[in-house]
Amino acid sequence: MPEPILQVRNLTVHFYTYAGIVKAIERVSFDVYRGETFALVGETGCGKSVTSRALTQLIESPGRIVEGEVLYHKEDGTVVDLLKLNEEQIREIRGNEIAYIFQDPHASLDPLYTVGYQIAEAMEVHGKVESIKEGIKKAVDILRSVLIPDPENRVKNYPHELSGGMKQRVVIGIGIANNPKILIADEPTTALDVTVQAQILDLINQLKEKYKATVILITHNLGVVAETADRVAVMYAGKIVEIGSVEQIFKNPLHPYTKGLLKAVPNPMTKIERLEAIPGTVPNLITPPSGCRFHPRCPFATEVCKRKVPELKEMEDGHFVACHLY
Ligand SMILES: Nc1ncnc2c1ncn2[C@@H]1O[C@H](COP(=O)(O)OP(=O)(O)OP(=O)(O)O)[C@@H](O)[C@H]1O
Ligand code: NI
């Protein structure tokens, strides 16, 4: 039996805006197993980033986590609900046991400090080194492990002295500096060109093996999912509609939305295809559709789909779908 490292239950996040309450994610539940790469996929605005940020309470005003549990299974066997931790406790976990790599390396790095300093600081904050000076020494090894050439000199560079791909390697270096148990990569390659994207994904895979980490990978690129993930959760308009192994999802997609996604990508192994070609648009999440949120776009929708929210049901071993057709 795979052992869960995270169990997410009924995670719900709302944004209280002037226009109304944006129901960004609603009762999202899934497990992530220790050591796997778990992908969250879906069109833009479906709630991937909000879900991943909510795992460690990284939701800023006007957003609020209104419901849910995120059970984190530590290596010593204890289980904590990350949503019940206070600010200081969650900050101790964030960046240390659970680290993020965000999409835009420009926004993730401070232009005023050298990359060595920034890696050193990430370690010092969590008590992994006694001083920045010691941290900068270790930063050389970290730059080496993210395959930056000439790390002894690169450590003294400012972000603007590095290419986009190199900057993203530095961001990954900061992410892994404290040897996290879970690495959450939110569109880590979107801002990069295609060849560099492949290198960065390779790097994440290598680091995952080396540090025995668990990876949560957020992407709208199904080619990336096919190549790097073990399991996949498909999101639509703030809900998870299907979860399964990569093989189950690609060979036997069950939800009409998942089928549409796969059809919208002529060849799932093509890296550059994106998921934008399903007819209709993602609904407004202030007044989401009743029942199944996909029903207005679904070719198979019936009466019940308008009335009743479908729950996730297990159809085959580990393959879940939330759809009234099943
Ligand atoms: N600060 C905010 N205020 C209001 N609504 C927000 C805010 N942040 C996110 N949302 C809403 O939450 C929903 C989910 O957004 P999220 O960023 O998680 O989508 P995503 O799946 O990551 O999309 P993308 O692929 O474009 O990154 C969207 O409808 C978005 O408009
Ligand atoms: Ni996002």
Q: What is the count of structural domains for the chain?
A: 1
**Residue 33: what are its φ and ψ, rounded to 5°?**
-90, 150
Who wins on pLDDT, 102 or 322?
A: 322
Query: How high is the ipTM of this complex?
Result: 0.98
Pocket test of ligand 1: the residue of 48, 103, 274 to mutate, having most ligand atoms within 8 Å of its CB, is: 48
The whole-number pLDDT of residue 217 equals 95
* pLDDT tens per residue, range 120-160: 999 999 999 999 999 999 999 999 989 899 999 999 999 99
The whole-number pLDDT of residue 267 equals 54
Ligand nearest to the CA of 25: 1
156 domain-assigned: no
Tell whether the model's pLDDT for residue 220 goes beyond 90.
no
105 domain-assigned: no
Who wins on pLDDT, 280 or 172?
A: 172
Q: What is the mean pLDDT of the chain?
A: 91
* pLDDT tens per residue, range 225-274: 998 999 999 999 999 999 999 999 999 999 999 998 888 765 555 444 44
Ligand nearest to the CA of 48: 1
Ligand nearest to the CA of 239: 1
The whole-number pLDDT of residue 241 equals 98
117 domain-assigned: no
146 domain-assigned: no
44 domain-assigned: yes
The whole-number pLDDT of residue 277 equals 56
275 domain-assigned: yes
CB contact at 8 A, 291 and 307: yes
The whole-number pLDDT of residue 273 equals 47
Q: From ligand 1's centre to the CA of 48, what distance in Å?
A: 8
The whole-number pLDDT of residue 17 equals 94
* pLDDT tens per residue, range 110-120: 999 999 999 99
CATH number at residue 14: 3.40.50.300
Q: From ligand 1's centre to the CA of 238, what distance in Å?
A: 9
Q: What is the 3-class SS of the chain, one letter each residue?
A: CCCEEEEEEEEEEEEEECCEEEEEEEEEEEEEECCCEEEEECCCCCCHHHHHHHCCCCCCCCEEEEEEEEEEECCCCCEEEHHHCCHHHHHHHECCCEEEECCCHHHHCCCCCCHHHHHHHHHHHCCCCCCHHHHHHHHHHHHHHCCCCCHHHHCCCCHHHCCHHHHHHHHHHHHHCCCCCEEEEECCCCCCCHHHHHHHHHHHHHHHHHHCCEEEEEECCHHHHHHHCCEEEEEECCEEEEEEEHHHHHHCCCCHHHHHHHHHCCCCCCCCCCCCCCCCCCCCCCCCCCCCCCHHHCCCCCHHHHHCCCCCEEEECCEEECCCCC
Pocket of ligand 1 (CB under 6 A): 15, 17, 22, 24, 42, 44-50, 62-63, 220, 285
284 domain-assigned: yes
The β-bridge partners of 64 are 14
Tell whether the model's pLDDT for residue 275 goes beyond 70.
no
Burial class (CB in 10 A: 0-12, 13-18, 19+), 303: exposed
The whole-number pLDDT of residue 102 equals 87
Range 308-316 average pLDDT: 96
* pLDDT tens per residue, range 39-65: 999 988 999 999 999 999 999 999 999
- Structural domain including 310 reads 4-97+180-321
Q: From ligand 2's centre to the CA of 42, what distance in Å?
A: 10
Tell whether the model's pLDDT for residue 193 goes beyond 90.
no
Determine which of 13-17, 160-164, 219-223, 253-257 has the lowest per-residue pLDDT on average: 219-223
Range 8-26 average pLDDT: 96
The whole-number pLDDT of residue 2 equals 86
190 domain-assigned: yes
